[in-house]
Homo-oligomer: A and B are copies of this chain.
Amino acid sequence: MGGDVGPAVTIPGAALARDRHPEAQFVFVGDETVIRPLLDGHPELAKASRIEHTDVAVRMDDKPSQALRHGRRRSSMWLALEAVRRDECDVAVSAGNTGALMAMSKMCLKTTPGVERPAIAAIWPTLRGESIVLDVGATIGADAEQLASFAVMGEAMARALFGLAQPSVGLLNIGVEEVKGLEYVRAAGRILRESGLPINYFGFVEGDDLGKGTVDVVVTEGFSGNIALKTAEGTANQIASYLRSAMGRSLMSRIGFVLARNAFDTLKEKMDPRRMNGGVFLGLNGVVIKSHGGADAEGFAAAVALGHDMAENGLLAKVAEGLTNRPPVDAQTMGASAEAGS
């Protein structure tokens, strides 16, 4: 029921996802009177689906506390998570209210043992391919221990999603001042370097390393991560807008544009935010994918496909494995030595 449009996007989106993953089964949780007629328009999808009716839906502008008050145990969002908790579904995908989805996910699915706070991981297109960036908005502020947990979870996700044996992990930092960034970021660097985690720790990276794809996993706290994500989206939109207006300026440039249309289509595809749609909630006892609320059917299909891949590749087992491998942190290690990296 979530997102700016609701089932008129999520059902066609699921239909596209089903075309690409014909073995997938769907449960649509929400208002049957709205869902049924839309589902009838996609007979192949309908065959692989059932509807779980509820007429309670979390609103896009509900605060998480309001959503929990009104929607716990009965909203479509909660019931979708509950289906994951009961192992009836492998993945919950929602285009709804992010804060409410995270609050309900924590309450319904609980955090994985060893994880204090879940994170939202985004897939970032880079010049080398794709990277994982986390956290992009679940946590506001973090300490060194939490950043180290994010590193472990992001590394596990990179193994699950990219099939890498030893994905490289970097900590997002800044390099212009003597202090080299915030103390907790430096302390997280010491944990990753010295506490014997089986992680390919690269060191510090900066904002421009995101687009370069310097590392497979970039770890940061949610405030900076969200600002980086939205700044990159904004910059891409800005350049696309410059490009459109430059191309329309003269007859010659319009002709040039037509001749180079294939090249532009390639570029457009590379820059298409729908391709990368879907934030993965990490650190929970279940796979939850948040689709962008403004995504269209193609974008929602990408979020469903991402959830499909995460479930198929055993994300939860890989995260659990990463967390189990992690030795307890020695308090001495945390303050022991200066950060040599970056």
* Most B-side CB within 10 Å, residue of A64, A206, A227, A237: A227
Given contact pairs A140-B174, A177-B140, A212 touches B234 in the complex (Cβ within 8 A): yes
Establish whether residues A99 and B223, one from each chain, have CB atoms under 8 Å apart when the complex forms. no
- Choose, from A249-257, A313-321, A322-330, the stretch at the interface: A249-257
Binding site for B on A (CB under 8 A): 63-65, 98-99, 102-103, 125-127, 137-138, 140-141, 172, 174, 176-179, 181-182, 206-212, 220, 222-224, 226-239, 241-243, 246-247, 249-250, 252-253, 255-264, 266-267, 270-271
- The 4 closest A-B CB pairs, nearest first, are A207-B230, A256-B260, A256-B259, A208-B234
CA distance in complex: A259, B246 (Å) = 13
Establish whether residues A64 and B178, one from each chain, have CB atoms under 8 Å apart when the complex forms. yes
Establish whether residues B212 and A238, one from each chain, have CB atoms under 8 Å apart when the complex forms. yes
Q: Could you name 20 residue pairs across A and B whose Cβ atoms are closer than 8 Å?
A: A63-B178, A65-B178, A137-B174, A174-B230, A206-B230, A207-B230, A207-B232, A207-B234, A208-B231, A211-B235, A227-B227, A236-B239, A239-B271, A242-B266, A246-B260, A246-B267, A252-B262, A255-B260, A256-B261, A259-B259
Given contact pairs A99-B176, A176-B137, A271-B242, A263 touches B237 in the complex (Cβ within 8 A): no
Given contact pairs A227-B224, A256-B256, A256-B260, A177 touches B126 in the complex (Cβ within 8 A): no
Considering the complex, give the chain B residue whose CB is closest to the CB of A253: B263
Considering the complex, give the chain B residue whose CB is closest to the CB of A239: B239
Residues of B within 8 A of A267 (CB): 239, 242-243, 246
Residues of B within 8 A of A140 (CB): 174, 177, 179, 181-182
Considering the complex, give the chain B residue whose CB is closest to the CB of A231: B207
CA distance in complex: A211, B238 (Å) = 6
Establish whether residues B223 and A207, one from each chain, have CB atoms under 8 Å apart when the complex forms. no
Establish whether residues B207 and A177, one from each chain, have CB atoms under 8 Å apart when the complex forms. no
Given contact pairs A243-B267, A259-B259, A207 touches B222 in the complex (Cβ within 8 A): no
CA distance in complex: A103, B235 (Å) = 32
Given contact pairs A140-B182, A176-B99, A182-B223, A263 touches B239 in the complex (Cβ within 8 A): no
